[in-house]
Amino acid sequence: MAEAARAKVTDGEVAAAEALTSVRHGEGPRVGFLGDPGCGKTEAMRRMIAAYLRASSGVVLVADDKSAWRQQFEGQTFKDPADLESRIQADPSCLDQRQRVIVFRGDPSRGARGGLDLESVARFQAKLAAKRRPSVCIYDEIDRATVNGMWQQNPSDIAWSFGKGREDGMGAFWGLQQTQSAPSEPFNNSTHMFVFRCVGNPVMLLKRRGYCEGGVDAVIPRLPGDELPKAQRGYFVLLRRGRPWDGLVYRFGAPRVTQKPPAQSAPPTAGALPAM
Ligand SMILES: Nc1ncnc2c1ncn2[C@@H]1O[C@H](COP(=O)(O)OP(=O)(O)O)[C@@H](O)[C@H]1O
Ligand SMILES: [Mg+2]
């Protein structure tokens, strides 16, 4: 199964370029990452950050408080936006303007999570937008800002950024651990989803939200996943809301292939399904 998928895999950079189309139109990119733990979501987000930095002059704001002892994303590191602002006030040169990735870690000395409020990251992004500075927020676990499908904060600055921020260059790359507690804004306002192997509820949710045109819901549970050694993982499909599946399986780091995704209007064909 894994062998068959490897034979047909397309370079993830092709998917990244497609998912960043909005950046080339001067808009904020909104892209979701879904799939079982250990299948490659965080690694794909890192690749997407690199692709965003190449495609845009914008800033990347990462909420990286998942582990108190292991930082997942590289960048200039602060506790939270308040810490960043007070340090800039004390010493404006504390921020290297050439380094456009800012990582918020919370306070790891406080143990798990470190008390980072994801809403504070969205509020900081809105301040950048007011200064005409495009940016993308990275929420590896956006469901942490929600409870029972609702935003914990009402009104939510994260929800506002999804609903209204696109034209002001406010983007988000987001992932979820618990799909049953997913609020609607990220799904309804994202242009693309990177979907790794998963079964059941997440697939049904994607189908309900209009991301599974072209029969891709039958393919997602059969993608190679965490049964592979870590260095071989990272297979995903690229879904576009209300548009047919392109029939391709992607992976970052895969040998570059000449095959390009078909034009957006091309209808899916049964023969284009990968044999898995
Ligand atoms: N395209 C890839 N190439 C090489 N290793 C990968 C790839 N995608 C994922 N991995 C590795 O697989 C492991 C799990 O990936 P990770 O992104 O942490 O999964 P998730 O965020 O879905 O839990 C990590 O060790 C990661 O480095
Ligand atoms: Mg992860």
Using pLDDT thresholds of 50, 70 and 90, give the confidence band for residue 180: confident
- The ligand 1 atom at the shortest distance from the C-alpha of residue 196 is 22
The mean pLDDT of 42-66, rounded to a whole number, is 96
* CA 224/CA 231 separation, integer angstroms: 13
Rounded distance between C-alpha atoms, residue 199 and residue 214, angstroms: 17
For ligand 1, residues with CB inside 6 Å are 35, 37-43, 230-231, 233-234, 251-253
How many Å apart are CA 75 and CA 219, to the nearest integer? 35
Residue nearest to atom 13 of ligand 1 (CA): 230
pLDDT at residue number 232: 94
Rg (CA), the chain: 18
Mean pLDDT value of segment 97-124: 88
Share of the chain above pLDDT 90, in %: 69
Tokens of 249: 């399986």
User: Band of the pLDDT at 257, cuts 50, 70, 90?
Assistant: low
Residue 43 Cα: closest atom of ligand 1: 17
Q: Are strands 170-175 and 135-139 parallel, antiparallel or unpaired?
A: parallel
Domains of the chain: 2-260 (3.40.50.300)
Band (pLDDT 50/70/90 cuts) for residue 164 is: confident
Helix 41-55 and helix 12-19: axis angle, to 10°?
60
Cα separation, 244 vs 1, whole angstroms = 24
Whole-model pTM: value is: 0.89
